[in-house]
Structure 1
Amino acid sequence: MSFYLFRGRYSTDSLRALVDKPQDREAAAGAMIDSMGAKLHHLFFCFGDDDVVALIEAPDDETMAACALVVGASGMMSGGSTTKLMTSAEAMNAMKAAARGRASYQTV
């Protein structure tokens, strides 16, 4: 399973709806993500360019893309992005592979 960071910005209409009728978006997102075979670890509301960030664990990129597509197609968000994350162990493996591959890389 891989980890992903989802960042999103609510549309003006969605923000208005949340103010008019507060609701637990973590529960709604978690149910959808669980139904797709993934797991929502955390959902945070935040200040700045994004309104919400979520840490999601999914079995593969296709599953995470499907989750993001569901959210995007809902019209709730005016924008967002998904970043695939690596554990420290995965990063160490990449560093070791880079050290091996460096010998065959030629610079100009």
Structure 2
Amino acid sequence: MSKYLFESNYVGEGIKGLMREGGTKRRDAVVEALKSAGGSLECFYYAFGETDVVGVFDIPDQANAAALSLLINSTGSVSLRLKPLMTPEDLDEAAKKTPSYRAPGQ
């Protein structure tokens, strides 16, 4: 399973829908959407300021995460951004790798 941090903002009719349905029903909709893609919700929080909702979910792979993101963003009611998360062990593995790279101008 892959873990993602998500940040979203309600847009236009999405704000009206949130006000009509309330926060728990929108969270339940996220849980159901994740289940349909083989995922699960770890945490979900409302915020205010630049971001309306933040949370973490698990999903089987990048393709399912991308499909869910495309579907949600295509509604025009929510702007969703995903950030893949790594464990400290994942970073340890990355640090052991030795890719080749030339910096600009060198």
**TM-score with structure 2 length normalisation?**
0.83
Segments of structure 1 that go 5 or more residues without pairing to the other structure are none
Deviation at residue 48 of structure 1 after TM alignment:
2.0
Measure, in 2, the Cα distance between the counterparts of 1:18 and 1:96.
46
Q: In structure 2, what is the equivalent of residue 7 of structure 1? A: 7
Residue by residue over 1:53-94, the C-alpha shift from the partner in whole angstroms, topping out at 9 and shown as x without a partner, is 1211111100101111221122321x2311111011101111
For 2:44, the aligned partner's letter is L
| Aligned-partner residue type, residue 9 of structure 1 | N
One-letter amino acid matched to 1:84: P
CA RMSD of aligned residues (A): 2.0
Q: Provide the C-alpha distance between the structure 1 equivalents of 2:14 and 2:26, rounded to a whole number of angstroms.
A: 11
Greater share of helix: 1
* Displacement of 1:13: 2.2
Aligned residue number for residue 19 of structure 1: 19
Following superposition, the deviation at residue 6 of structure 1 comes to: 1.4
What is residue 89 of structure 1 aligned with on the other side? 89
- Asked if structure 1 preserves the Cα contact closer than 8 Å seen for 2:18 and 2:26, the reply is no
Q: How many residues matched?
A: 103
The alpha carbon displacement at 1:105 in A equals: 5.5
Report the alpha carbon displacement of residue 18 of structure 1 after superposing the two structures with TM. Answer: 2.1
1:76 aligns with 2:73: no
User: Looking at CA atoms only, which structure, 1 or 2, has the larger radius of gyration?
Assistant: 1
Match of 1:46 in 2: 47
Structure 1 runs, 4 residues or longer, greater than 4 Å off:
104-107
Identity of aligned residues (%): 29
Q: Following the alignment from structure 2 to structure 1, what is the Cα–Cα distance between the partners of residues 10 and 101?
A: 44
Q: Matched residues in 2 for 1:105 and 1:18: separation?
A: 47
